Every structure is written in structure tokens, then in C-alpha cells.
Amino acid sequence: MSRVPTGFPKDFLWGGAVAANQLEGAYDIDGKGMCVADINEFRDDVDITKKYNEELDTKFVVEAMNAGHGDGRIFPKRWGIDFYHTYKEDLKLLAGLGLKTFRTSINWARIFPNGDDETPNEAGLKFYDELIDEIIKNGMEPMITISHYEMPLNLTLKYKGWYSRELIEFFEKYCRTVFNRYAGKVKYWIIVNQINLIGHESFNHLGIAEDKVDDLQSAKYQAVHNEMVSCARATKYAHEHYPEMQIGMMLCGGYSYAATCKPEDQLAALKHNQMEFFYSDVLLRGYYPGYAFRFFEDKGIHVEFGKHDEEDLKNTCDFFSFSYYYTRIVTKESYENGNEAIRNKELPANEWGWTFDPIGLRISLNTFWDRYQKPIYITENGSGYYDKLEDGKVHDPYRVEFYRNHIEQMKEAIKDGVDLRGYYAWGPIDIVSCSSSEMSKRYGFIYVDLDDYGKGTGKRIKKDSYDWYKKVIATNGEDLD
């Protein structure tokens, strides 16, 4: 008898994923405080393919908080696609795809506007009451991300972002608040989105103003250490009070290859991948691996452990999840230059330089399954394109081809024995880009008629890919034509 699976599991979770800060808008109503994403600026005078939310100083933060009111500066995440007011209609459209599950985040600054508030903002909690109820009403299982680039900016200005140990307790309190509020409604939780992104999304993730620390590199690793301790504490609380909850951790995934067969490049790739997997090693295995201590010593990085941190970190997550967009390559030189991976020019890419590597997804899935033996969810996958609206329609065969190629490799990984439980297409409805704050970098099966400056009708239009993904879900991944 063959023990090789023939297809996707019968209960496979086909879904779509978004982030609150990229679609909700309504950044200053119902008691919400400003969060890090609210100062992500769109600029049409820079090379958009190289724009990320990296290091910022206090001066920039303060000026950006007070900008955008008729001064010509543009902060698109402040209005998003107005999902805060249109979520009922949008969720009906998404449910029309046949989605089994929908992933979104809770904006931290809606619940604790300053981050260190004594009590949560009831208006924010009420909004997510209604949103989660609507997700369930439309037949979709909610997966909720607790921290997805939505740290209250007060925690940057009053403290030093995640570098300050005070945030451990602030975040733990936030986690307890949402666990208590939505227990019985939300089974699947991701505590921190793409926790390994401390480079390209440095400020968005950790909220450290670079002028507030002496050694930014050490500060980042101290910050993510504090964050992991808080994640572990939150996981312990969930397991003790709500055993039905499944708590996950998430990487920005994508295996990096050695650029050549030279042993030096092979070793560099090994070291690079280890430090990308470091975060999941800690949160799924419960302790710091030896290679991380060696990395810190070699790079002159200092991380201070609290008295109970090692014990706290033993509270590990239930599942592994990751986003998959592209793979990169590593040379000895790129590794030594800040543990960098570089673009593989052998692969085709979209207009932002994000390469297409469907086989890399199969490699990544096998690598993670071999490493952790934990259920896996692909919680983001997609590619941005400049779509054209012509005669009220969007013809996007390139998007269909992208997803077909990746889903085929997912099926192969399942045949390899990988315990893949769910798949979330990123941005099933067009939203503002995370890295470049563009609206014109589109991922969705549903077109939203808004441009980079927030102008347009806001009308929602199904693209050709909508019917294709609907068919994929209806056939549980069997019909990819």
C-alpha cells in the first residue's frame, strides 16, 4: 500500500491574508493611537524597488506624526482601502472565493493607544468583536496576528521600542486582553508577524529610534530577545487558560542558496540560514542554539538575559508558519557584510525585483518540516503586479501562473511527507504595500479602485484570477488549469 498522499488533506485551510495597518484606514478615530505604520511614507521621487521601512530617528518620527495634513506628504496606510467601514461588503466578496479561513491582524494601537495604558480601549475591542463575528458569519475560520507592524508610536518616543524591557509586560498584557476577549471565537493565533525581519522592516517591527541607542545592531537583537520572551509568556498564558487555542510563530521564509559550490559560500549560506531560523528555533525548541551565541560573539553583539528568561522561553508554540515570496543567494562576502543575502539573477522577477522560485517553496517546506516536525501553515504567498483596469475588467493571467506554479510545489511537498495544514494567499483584495506604501503594487484577486495618492472611486472589481482561485478551492487544489 502506498503511503504517499495523493493530494491536499480534506480539511486543508485555503485562505487569504491581510494586515490591519494596510487596509483598515481610520487611523485616528474611535480612540486609536498612532502606530508605526501610520508614518510609512509614500514617495514618488525615490526608487520604489529599494524602499523599505528601515532605521528612523526620533526627529523623523515626530515630524511624520504631525505631517500629512495638507503639506504634500503622503501616508497611505492612514486610509488604506477603508476596510474599517467596508469590511462587511469586502468579507462577502472574499467569502465568494470559497475561502475556508481569513487571516488579519489586530492593530495594537486600537486596543492600547499608547501601549502602556492601564485599560484597553473598548471601542477598539468592539470593532474586532464585530469583525471576527463577520468573518465567522461568512464561513471562514479566523487566524489572528497580534503584532503586525502596529506598535503604538508612544512606545518609541517614551521608551526605546522593544529594546526596553518594559515592553515585555505591556505586550503580554495586550496578548492576555485579546485572548480573553476572543476565546471561543479564534482558535489560530500568530503572535508576531515575520519575527526575523529586523533588517528591511527594522523600525516597523521593533520600533527603535536609532538615536536612542548606542549600538543599533546589538539593540535589535536585544529587542527581539525581549519580544520572544514576551511571546513565550503569552503562549504559556494561552495554553494554561485556553487549551483549545493553537499558538503559532511566523518567519519571513525562503531558503537562501549558496551562490556557488565553493565551500566558503556553502558555509556562508549555512550560517545565514541558521540566523534566519534562529527565531523559530527559540520559539519552537525553547532555547537559544549554540550557533547564535557564536554569531553574537563573532559580530560583537551583546544580549542581556533577564533572571527568568531561559525558563520563560521553554513555553513553545504549537505550529510553524511563514511567508514565502522569493529565495536569495549567499556568498562569503555577502554574509560577512551584515549577514546579507542577495538577489539570484538566474531567476525571473517582478518589477520590484522579487524573484519567482516555486521549487524554492518545496525546498523551504521540506527544510522546515525536517527541522521542527510541527504543523505548517503558509501564511503569506503572492507577488505584486501593476494591474490594468480596462473596460471595467482586470485580465491577470500572470497572477494565475504564479499561484498555479506555487500550489503545484505545495502538493509535491505534501507528497514528500510535509504536514502542511493551510495556505493563505497574500492580499486577496488589493491593499497598500507594506514595504513601499504603494497602492499600485497589487496582489489581490479583487481590484480596489484607488491610486497611490488615495484617489479613486474605491469600487471593488473581481479580476480574472478571482474565478480561478475559486475553482482551485472548490476542487481542493486539484483543478489548477
Cell digits of residue 45: 521621487
Local structure of 323: helix, strand or coil: strand
* CB atoms closer than 10 angstroms to residue 205: 28
Length of the chain: 481
Q: Do 473 and 422 meet the contact criterion of CB atoms below 8 Å apart?
A: no
Q: What pLDDT is stored for residue 129 in this prediction?
A: 98
Q: What pLDDT is stored for residue 71 in this prediction?
A: 82
Distance CA 260, CA 24 (A): 44
Cell digits of residue 237: 498564558
Local structure of 159: helix, strand or coil: coil
| CB environment 103-114: b (16+ within 10 A), e (fewer) | bbbbbbbbbbbb
Q: What pLDDT is stored for residue 202 in this prediction?
A: 85
Q: What pLDDT is stored for residue 49 in this prediction?
A: 66
pTM of the model: 0.97
Distance CA 430, CA 274 (A): 34
Sign of CA dihedral 47, 66, 203, 302: positive
Query: In sequence order, which residues have a C-beta less than 8 Å from that of residue 168 and are 6 or more positions away?
Result: 226, 229, 230, 233
Long-range contacts of 180-184 (CB under 8 A, 24+ apart): 180/241, 181/125, 181/128, 181/129, 182/128, 182/129, 182/132, 182/144, 183/241, 183/242, 183/245
- Nearest one of 321, 151, 169 to 249, comparing CA atoms: 321
Residue by residue, DSSP assigns 199-232 as STTHHHHH--BGGG-S-HHHHHHHHHHHHHHHHH
**β-bridge pairing 420-426 and 246-252:** unpaired
Q: What pLDDT is stored for residue 177 in this prediction?
A: 98
| CA-based radius of gyration for the chain | 21
For 171-204, the pLDDT digits (tens) are 999 999 999 999 999 999 999 999 999 987 789 9
Q: What 8-state DSSP symbol labels residue 305?
A: P
> Which residues of the chain carry a pLDDT beneath 70?
1, 48-54
- Nearest one of 111, 289, 278 to 197, comparing CA atoms: 278
Q: What 8-state DSSP symbol labels residue 72?
A: S
Q: What pLDDT is stored for residue 178 in this prediction?
A: 98
Q: What pLDDT is stored for residue 1 in this prediction?
A: 56
Distance CA 385, CA 399 (A): 8
Tell me the C-alpha to C-alpha distance, in Å, between residue 8 and each of 239, 414, 420: 29, 7, 9
Q: Which CATH class is domain 13-474?
A: alpha beta
Q: What pLDDT is stored for residue 44 in this prediction?
A: 86
Q: Do 344 and 287 meet the contact criterion of CB atoms below 8 Å apart?
A: no
Distance CA 145, CA 323 (A): 13
Distance CA 122, CA 112 (A): 9
CA within 13 Å, CB half, 12: 22
Q: Do 225 and 164 meet the contact criterion of CB atoms below 8 Å apart?
A: no
